[in-house]
Structure 1
Amino acid sequence: MQTILVCDDDELLVELLNHRLVGRGFQVLVANDGGAAVQQAIERRPDAIVLDMMMPVLDGQQVLRRLRADAATATIPVIMLTARRQERDIVSALELGADDYLVKPFIPEELMSRLTRLLAARR
């Protein structure tokens, strides 16, 4: 069973993603702040990460920098899922190593398709 780490401080969104991902056969880990996201990624080594840009403790860019700088987490696929839609935010996240970028509000099935594609490419 593949594991997805969902990093977001919005409880309703986390609940929605958990429901969708579990329904697709994934195990779900949750981090409600950036510090917990880095810690769980290092300790649990999920198969992929869905990461919000705006979170407490560490923001999504700080989390992404730390993940990409650590050999243990550098290759984990990361999809940014955020309300930040400005060009500089998108380009910055992609330059830091995000594998994909989706803007909220989003289509849940689109996220599932993108996640499935990233995981298939990693095999």
Structure 2
Amino acid sequence: MPERAKILVIEDDRLVSRLLRRLLQQAGYEVSVAYSGRAALAALQAERPDLITLDIALPEVDGEALLGELRADPATRSIPVIVISAAPWLLHDRLRRHARAVVAKPFRPEEILRVVASVLAGRPTD
């Protein structure tokens, strides 16, 4: 039996994080959640996920700074990141270059599942 992909959801909104956790677990993924940038960094010290979903508006360390740290660190540089944002049109080009995909909030469950599956398979997300 193949190993389940591990996904780290970085999202401070408890409702959105619960929705993402449930949706991804039901699709067969192993999911952990971090509610802040600092909690995400600690989680990444303990275990390397196969994929990260990242909210930009986070307490302590915002998503943009966190993504910069992930890309600067050789240990996390190759982990694909899906940015989930309520205002994707405000994202800087630099941020978009560091993410494998950008999903707008509110999102449809089938959209998240499609993007996650595409990113994990190394396929384009458009």
TM-score scaled to structure 2, two decimals? 0.89
The corresponding residue for 1:94 is: 96
Q: Distance in 1 between matches of 2:42 and 2:32?
A: 12
The corresponding residue for 2:120 is: 119
The corresponding residue for 1:62 is: 65
Structure 1 ranges of 4+ moved more than 4 A: none
Aligned partner (choices 27, 30, 33) of residue 27 of structure 1: 30
Deviation at 1:43, TM superposition (A): 2.4
Superposed CA RMSD: 1.4
Instruction: Number of aligned residue pairs: give it.
Output: 120
**CA distances 1:42-85 after superposition (whole Å, capped 9, x unpaired):** 32100000000001011110110000011110010100001123
The corresponding residue for 1:53 is: 56
Deviation at 1:38, TM superposition (A): 2.0
Q: Distance in 2 between matches of 1:109 and 1:90?
A: 26
Q: Distance in 2 between matches of 1:85 and 1:26?
A: 25
Q: Which runs of 5+ in 2 are unaligned?
A: none
Aligned partner (choices 14, 18, 21) of residue 18 of structure 1: 21
**CA distances 1:79-103 after superposition (whole Å, capped 9, x unpaired):** 000112334x1523213x1111111
Q: Distance in 2 between matches of 1:32 and 1:105?
A: 18
Deviation at 1:107, TM superposition (A): 1.2
Report the 3-state secondary structure (helix = DSSP H, G, I; strand = E; otherwise coil) of the residue aligned with 2:88: coil
Q: Is the 8 A contact 2:88 2:102 kept in 1?
A: no
TM-score scaled to structure 1, two decimals? 0.91
